[in-house]
Amino acid sequence: MSWARTLALALRTLRRNPLRSLFMLLGVAVGIASLVAMASVGEATRQETMRQFKRMVGTFDRISIQPGSARTRGMPSLTSVEPTLRFEDADAIRAEVPNVRRVSREQSAFDIDVQARDKTATTSIWGISAEWMEIRGDDVTVGRGISPEDVETLARVAVIGEDLRKELFPDEDPIGKTIRIAEVPFTVQGVLVPRGAGPGGSSLDNLLLMPVSTASKRLFNRDYLTTITVQLEDPARYEQAVAAITALLRERHGIVPPVEDNFTVSNPRAAMEQVQEVDTTLSAVLVGIAVIATLIGGVVIMSLMLIAVSERRREIGVRRAVGATRADVLRQFLVEAALISALGGIVGVLLGVAGATVAAFQQQLSPVFLWGAMGGAVGLATLIGLVFGLQPAWRAANVDPIQALRA
């Protein structure tokens, strides 16, 4: 019997038993919908995490050096870190470590009150060198950033984030306006491009930048740094750069093993890889659950088709009596199982796309559709139909036609 004839018989059989066909279709569709939705939402979450991480840390060609050992927790602040990183350490790294493109010196302090006439806002303050914005890839919407001349002259200027602008200057241009920090006046000369929220959900736009020399000598009166950021010429030689920086700082700080380092060298790429590893593990678990749900759909198909074999014994006997071979019967049942599974896969993909869209909207994510994975899901559904339909098809092919006609 031709494949076209077999397919026509399979379609007629499925139409003749709409309720059973619907249950088999839904058994597969639910699993495939879960698989598509989980994969899409997982990928959307991964991409959004990477975008947020890059907004927070900038480019991945940098190394960050902070005071304190690797056990030190939290963001470094002038009020919480050991005074072990000096301006001279940054200068030495720039001069002596190969593969260094830029070095930024930073002082940070949090929960600082900033005043503008009758308004007060609480923000984080970052004293930075001019290289900071280039390393992070930041820019301003209006005005200008911190220049080398600002650092050299200890200029009392500030660049503010979008959140701070909204609080202090909601209805006016902030450029040229005066703000006060601990009664020290500063002139606003720029507004940063908004970066949104970080991976933890906190805003990255509630900050104020000023020259690090100004922060050190005119505001905080501290001669040590909270962070040194190094941008590399060749990120692929990251390990060599870390080793060179570590050796240089140990020498400068007089540290001899087994004495613990009083600084920590880290790379945002390593942190990003850890975050992605967690996301990947979670996505794998969710996809595994969806695959199990799909396999359960296969069990549903097998169970209903086994029942169908018992109900269709007379039909099988008649077909065998008029010349159908065991191979013809086997093929017909396999085609029925594969067909209903493929239809269930298509319906499942449509449901999965709809579910992923709704989930992405609720989580404020951009929906991501993995079309290759969707095609694979339909293929998986068809394969499951063939695998789980094999036992009923084999049983149908081995029905004794004489006994079936007598039944």
* Least confident segment among 49-63, 129-143, 344-358: 49-63
pLDDT at 275 over 60: no
Q: Residue 168 carries which side chain, given as an amino acid letter?
A: L
What value does the mean pLDDT take over residues 368-386?
Answer: 80
pLDDT at 72 over 70: no
Q: Residue 393: which H helix or E strand, with range?
A: helix 371-397
Largest Cα–Cα distance of the chain, in whole Å?
106
Confidence of residue 6 (pLDDT cuts 50, 70, 90): low
Confidence of residue 228 (pLDDT cuts 50, 70, 90): very high
Count of C-beta atoms within a 10 Å radius of residue 358 = 13
Strands 119-128 and 100-116: antiparallel
Domain ranges of the chain: 3-53+273-406, 61-266
Q: Which of 79, 124, 26 is nearest to 347 (CA)?
A: 26
What value does the mean pLDDT take over residues 377-404?
Answer: 75
Q: Residue 270: which H helix or E strand, with range?
A: helix 268-311
Query: Quick one: pLDDT at residue 215?
Result: 94
Listing DSSP states for 278-336 in one string gives HHHHHHHHHHHHHHHHHHHHHHHHHHHHHHHHHHTHHHHHHHHHTT--HHHHHHHHHHH
Confidence of residue 126 (pLDDT cuts 50, 70, 90): very high
* Least confident segment among 55-69, 91-105, 179-193: 55-69
Q: Which of 143, 123, 118 is nearest to 133 (CA)?
A: 143
- Inter-residue contact 77 to 224 (CB < 8 Å): no
Q: What is the DSSP letter of 203?
A: B
Q: Which residues does 303 contact at the CB level (< 8 Å), separation at least 6?
A: none
pLDDT at 159 over 80: yes
What value does the mean pLDDT take over residues 109-115?
Answer: 92
CA–CA gap between residue 8 and residue 109 (Å, rounded): 75
Q: Which of 264, 238, 266, 242 is nearest to 253 (CA)?
A: 264
Query: Quick one: pLDDT at residue 376?
Result: 81
Maximum mean pLDDT: which of 174-188, 236-250, 275-289, 371-385: 174-188
Token code pair at residue 204: 């990255």
Of 70 and 99, more confident? 99
pTM: 0.59
Confidence of residue 381 (pLDDT cuts 50, 70, 90): confident
Query: Quick one: pLDDT at residue 26?
Result: 83
- Inter-residue contact 294 to 376 (CB < 8 Å): no
